[in-house]
Amino acid sequence: MSAQGVAVLLSWMSCCGSALWRYYTNSPNYHIFSTRSTIKLEYEGTAFSEWSVPATCSVKNKKSPKTELRCSSPGVHTIKPIVTGPDLEEERYLSVDSSHTCFLWYYKVRNFIHNLTQVLTIWIYDPENADPNELLRNANEPSLNSIVLSKQLASWGQRPAIYTFLKRKAYFPHGKMNGTWRISIPLVADDALKEIKGNKVAFQDCFIEDYLFLLTFPLLTIPEIPGFLPITSPQGSQLMADWIACLPSAIVVVADMETFHTNDSFRTWTRLRVPPNVLTDDERHNVSDVNLSLNGVFFLINGIVYLKSLTAFTRLGNNENLPEGGIIGLASRKWCWSKYRLKANIKSTMAIWTSDEIYLRYASPKFVKLITIKKLKKILNMSAAAVVTIHKVEYTGHPLELAVLLNYCITCTAFKKMYIVIYSEVTEQWMLQDFVLNVTIDSVITSRFLYTAMSELILWDKHRVYYCYHNFTVTGVVQTPTEFGNLSRLSHDSVINTVFTDYYGNIIVKMENNVMFFFKTYTTDAIKLHLWINSQTKSLFFLNASGKIYLIYVFDDGTIYPQDYPLRLEIQSIGSRSKSTECPFIVFYHNILYISYVLDKGHHLSFWAQIVYPENAGLYITMESYGPNILEEKSQVLYEIASGYCTKTMTVTFFQTENYEAVNDYFKLQQQNTGLLIVRVRPSEYTKMCPAAQKVFQVAVGCDFSKFIAIKGFNRKKCRWHDFFYIIQKSYLRNQPSKNLRVKYNWKKYGCPLRLNFREKFHPVVQLYNDDGYIEDVDVNFIVWEIHGRNDYSFNNTMKTSGCLNEAQTWKSMHELNKHLPLEDAWGPENYKHCFSYAVGKPGDLNQPYEIINKSNYNHLVWPMQHTGMYVFRVKILDPNYSFCNLTAIFAIEIYGMISSPNGDLVIAFLFLLMLLFFSILVLSYFHYMRIYRQYIYAPIHKTKRKQQKNNM
């Protein structure tokens, strides 16, 4: 944080009476906290005397509440302020390392919408000698020091590259390095998580740390319009917020004086305001819930939902299939599973509920009523006398499930029970969980599902946090060293404001007076963190674009300020002070690179995980999965011990063995064997002091929609693109129509045709691709057909030469069996049967053409000898065990070289005209010469001679 930023922050935070102290570094997110770092210390309060630091550290000004600290040796250093009066300030145990990572990457992005490209300008900077704009991440160009540093490292071989996490693509610099590098990347929405990595080049024994960041389509914040009025929560209420799960830097925060909107983690932000005369003053200041989406911001006011978009502020109701009142909550997904694409239009994006109805929003702007309490009670076999209402709807960690928290009571006077029901958007089933929570009738329970494989969550009321682990089998109250988990008694009777969770299993409970507690997923006790924020400042936790935790502060003048929070350092300090149980293992490794995997037929997924721990600790690696039972699993564990340390390596393979050939219902069997599994790999034990100790990923079994096939040798660019028409004679068509067929050749759809001489046979080679490019040549059976109905081609292989024992399937036989279907649907993997067994099929004429092709049978397409023409074929994979996808492709072939046989009637007509012309010339010649002959017979001879003499003169 810059000095100017710290001064602004302290000027706002110094109003409170409580004393506390903090520390900062110039490195964003405390990436670098080493002996080279300048640590800025700040005391907030009036009783400061001086700083107490160990002898291995030096303070610039010991008597100043704001000063700089440097520690020359690594280790855990005890730092605390000495104050006047009877009270003692808490001390921190700062872990300073001796890392050789000193420099960081900086990038500036420019978006080019016209060609969907982003150009990143990248340079290296030293946080200890950087320009203030570089520290604030708003520099447009490198400082002089950064230019010199970048050029120096570039001369020694440094060269950055951008690597994406989801698609595993790499992009490298282009052009000449002139103080900065420039890298162009495509502007995409489904590969937003990226990392800048460089070569292992050092300068003065210092390396550059890799930089993880989120980069997606440029999003616009809703602009402030002069004359519009603030929309807020009730006066004195705490902050409420929402963010987009797959774009955590896009956030909306509602305070009691303004509503704030950002797309870059509050580096920039705008105030959301509404037109005058749309809402009353009471309505404008009574927002009870908020939800952020790509379509805009949804506000819940007095039981009615309003949508604030870039251009309008709209009340939602009957036109959107929502009730006109009585709505009590909004919910959206909190965990990002953007890669899930097995099924279309079944993943809802938002839930809205009343006390007895639930509505879901899909791709359409209208909502769909999911269920009513009356129907839900019937499904769950609940007592008709029970009073059941919807308390809350929450999306789970699974991308296709949501949970409903129900209020249940009979007499409803003092106590009620709370149940959890989970709804699957795939199976459309409701499942009552083995969970019940007894609370007072007026209790308000909030829940948050964790980023885990199974359905696991935490719940909280005003004073306690409840945990539900291992699919609701382990439940209880999160405990504290004293007060039996009552967090209010440990925080001056304050109540719980919010609970923050992240992808690494960290959980922070923040009270309204900003006292904070910490625990991790699967731990059941919490520790109290050091004070970081005074009790008067309103604040919330968020994740930034790099996946790091930061705080935002909202001040009474309608401004907002972000600040990095050093959670790792604070946990280490508390652990050193309280002698908390250390992490039971040394390291936990794995080779799971992706968060999403897609398994097709015949494929398998293998991965390994490894744990190193002290001898006799008895740890092991556990793997948990949640989802349908559609995969088989094979695992192996290797064990080694050396020098007092044990190493266990677990290898796991997921696969399927189902045979889809010649089954009764091919599509039903496919449906039964597709689905989504969420898998988590973790050590058997870990504590709050452990680093990230779990890996959660999804395995989708089914069609990978990024896959497609193409025919080898066809290129869409090596021809002049133009549409044209051609005629197919009716005698060449399969259905023998009464007229010739006029066909338009769609160049964009069919691509460039391959020109072949009529003597050339053609053997198509099918190749499999995905978004990353070529995968393999397809070596299984496939079929082709001419999409416009031509059947004037054949195959060089016969059924007999192909080895058939019974008559093989053909287009003619399959079309006769499925006359109710279009030709392209009459034959496919769903009804394919081979001909290489006496038990399959029936004897017949094996001299017929064999119409099935694969890479190795060299079955060729054979062209007619009497005419040329244009053929547009579609190819389809026939093997039922190759893919869940319906893989097809189109290719075109133009046949040339044969002079077409003339039409008989045309030949006769032409000969008749030729003979008529010949006899006409003979007749005309006869009369012409007769006229000349008669002229010479009757004309005088002397006249003729006289004419000749005149001509000679």
Domain end call among 701, 730, 753: 701
Domain end call among 185, 214, 243: 214
Backbone angles phi, psi at 935, to 5 degrees: -65, -40
- Element counts in the chain: helices (H) and strands (E): 11, 64
Q: Is the pLDDT of residue 903 over 90?
A: no
Q: Are residues 678 and 722 in the same domain?
A: no
Nearest-CA neighbor of 12 among 516, 533, 514?
533
Average pLDDT rounded to a whole number, residues 647-664: 94
Banded pLDDT at 214 (limits 50, 70, 90): confident
Q: Are residues 758 and 873 in the same domain?
A: yes
Answer whether residue 644 is part of any domain. Answer: yes
pLDDT digits (tens, 9 = 90+) for 333-354: 999 886 655 555 568 999 999 9
Question: Rounded to whole angstroms, how far apart are CA atoms 414 and 792?
Answer: 84
pLDDT digits (tens, 9 = 90+) for 556-598: 898 999 999 999 999 999 988 776 668 899 999 999 988 889 9
Integer distance in angstroms from the first to the last C-alpha of the chain? Answer: 120
**232-246, 279-293, 722-736: least confidently modelled range:** 722-736
Provide the mean pLDDT of the chain. 89
Q: Are residues 628 and 752 in the same domain?
A: no
Q: Are residues 784 and 715 in the same domain?
A: yes
Banded pLDDT at 6 (limits 50, 70, 90): very low
Q: Is the pLDDT of residue 13 over 50?
A: no
**239-248, 748-757, 903-912: least confidently modelled range:** 903-912
634: left (phi over 0), alpha (psi -120 to 50) or beta: beta
Nearest-5° Cα angle at 30, 28 to 36: 100
Average pLDDT rounded to a whole number, residues 847-874: 92
Q: Are 764 and 861 in contact (CB under 8 A)?
A: yes
Q: Per residue, what are the HEC states of 441-510?
A: CCCCCEEEECCCCCCCEEEECCCCEEEEECCCCEEEECECCCHHHCCHHHCCCCCEEEEEECCCCEEEEE
**Structure token digits, residue 5:** 């930023």
Scanning the structure block, which residue is given the tokens 């010199």? 148
Q: Which residues contact 140 (CB under 8 A, 6 or more apart)?
A: 108, 133
Answer whether residue 575 is part of any domain. Answer: no
Q: Rg of the chain over CA atoms, in angstroms? A: 39
**Structure token digits, residue 519:** 């625990």
Nearest-CA neighbor of 123 among 27, 214, 196, 200?
196
Q: Is the pLDDT of residue 742 over 50?
A: yes
Q: Are residues 739 and 856 in the same domain?
A: yes
Amino acid at 310: L
Q: Is the pLDDT of residue 322 over 70?
A: yes
**Structure token digits, residue 418:** 């709370």
The alpha carbon dihedral of 926, 927, 929, 933 has a sign of: positive
Residue 7: per-residue pLDDT = 43
Residue 720: per-residue pLDDT = 76
Backbone angles phi, psi at 11, to 5 degrees: -65, -30
Answer whether residue 240 is part of any domain. Answer: no
Q: How many CA atoms lie within 13 A of 800 on its CB side?
A: 6
Give the CATH number for residue 595.
Answer: 2.60.40
Residue 771: per-residue pLDDT = 79
Answer whether residue 680 is part of any domain. Answer: yes
Nearest-CA neighbor of 341 among 116, 456, 115, 189?
189
The alpha carbon dihedral of 787, 789, 792, 796 has a sign of: positive
Nearest-5° Cα angle at 447, 355 to 456: 125
**Structure token digits, residue 717:** 């660019």
Question: Rounded to whole angstroms, how far apart are CA atoms 922 and 920?
Answer: 5
Q: Is the pLDDT of residue 520 over 80?
A: yes
Q: Are residues 55 and 116 in the same domain?
A: no
pLDDT digits (tens, 9 = 90+) for 185-212: 998 877 888 999 999 998 888 999 999 8
Residue 203: domain span: 101-214
Average pLDDT rounded to a whole number, residues 401-417: 93
Q: Are residues 774 and 802 in the same domain?
A: yes
Q: Are residues 881 and 766 in the same domain?
A: yes
**5-14, 744-753, 760-769, 850-859: least confidently modelled range:** 5-14
Q: Which residues contact 225 (CB under 8 A, 6 or more apart)?
A: 273, 275
Q: Are 118 and 110 in contact (CB under 8 A)?
A: yes
Residue 593: per-residue pLDDT = 84
Question: Rounded to whole angstroms, how far apart are CA atoms 732 and 794?
Answer: 12
Strands 604-614 and 645-655: antiparallel
Helix/strand/coil percentages in the chain, nearest 5: 15, 40, 45
Residue 673: per-residue pLDDT = 93
Residue 258: per-residue pLDDT = 95
Answer whether residue 601 is part of any domain. Answer: yes
Scanning the structure block, which residue is given the tokens 């060609």? 115
Banded pLDDT at 11 (limits 50, 70, 90): very low
Answer whether residue 420 is part of any domain. Answer: no
Question: What does the DSSP 8-state code read for residue 220?
Answer: P
Q: Are 213 and 194 in contact (CB under 8 A)?
A: yes
Strands 596-599 and 695-701: parallel
Coil vs helix vs strand at 762: strand
Amino acid at 192: A
Q: How many structural domains comprise the chain?
A: 5
82: left (phi over 0), alpha (psi -120 to 50) or beta: beta
Q: Are residues 599 and 693 in the same domain?
A: yes
CB atoms within 10 A of CB 374: 11
Average pLDDT rounded to a whole number, residues 612-630: 91
Distance of CA 943 to the CA centre of its chain: 109
**Structure token digits, residue 759:** 């003597």
Q: Are residues 867 and 770 in the same domain?
A: yes
Q: Per residue, what are the HEC states of 919-935?
A: HHHHHHHHHHHHHHHHH
- Please name every residue paired with 57 in a beta bridge, in sequence order, or none if there are none: 71
Nearest-CA neighbor of 853 among 871, 830, 873, 839?
873
Nearest-CA neighbor of 749 among 885, 874, 877, 876?
874
Scanning the structure block, which residue is given the tokens 């008597």? 63
Q: Is the pLDDT of residue 17 over 50?
A: no
Q: Are 172 and 161 in contact (CB under 8 A)?
A: yes
232-245 burial by CB neighbour count: b if 16+ within 10 A, else e? bbeeebbbbbbbbb
Answer whether residue 127 is part of any domain. Answer: yes
Question: Rounded to whole angstroms, how far apart are CA atoms 486 and 464?
Answer: 5
Average pLDDT rounded to a whole number, residues 296-313: 95
Coil vs helix vs strand at 533: coil
Number of residues that this document lists for the chain: 953
Question: Rounded to whole angstroms, how far apart are CA atoms 91 and 113?
Answer: 52
**Structure token digits, residue 2:** 């810059």
Q: Are 802 and 859 in contact (CB under 8 A)?
A: yes
Nearest-CA neighbor of 126 among 222, 204, 68?
204
- DSSP E strand boundaries for 669-819: 675-683, 695-701, 708-711, 724-728, 741-745, 754-757, 766-770, 773-777, 782-786, 794-795
Q: Are residues 837 and 728 in the same domain?
A: yes
pLDDT digits (tens, 9 = 90+) for 381-395: 999 899 999 999 999
Q: Which residues contact 888 (CB under 8 A, 6 or more apart)?
A: 709, 874, 875, 876, 877
Percent of the chain beyond pLDDT 90?
Answer: 68
pTM: 0.86
Average pLDDT rounded to a whole number, residues 602-625: 92
Residue 916: per-residue pLDDT = 85
Question: Rounded to whole angstroms, how far apart are CA atoms 596 and 508?
Answer: 27
Q: Please, where are the H alpha helices in 721-783? A: 747-750
Amino acid at 532: W
Q: Are residues 774 and 840 in the same domain?
A: yes
Answer whether residue 920 is part of any domain. Answer: no
Q: Are 506 and 526 in contact (CB under 8 A)?
A: no
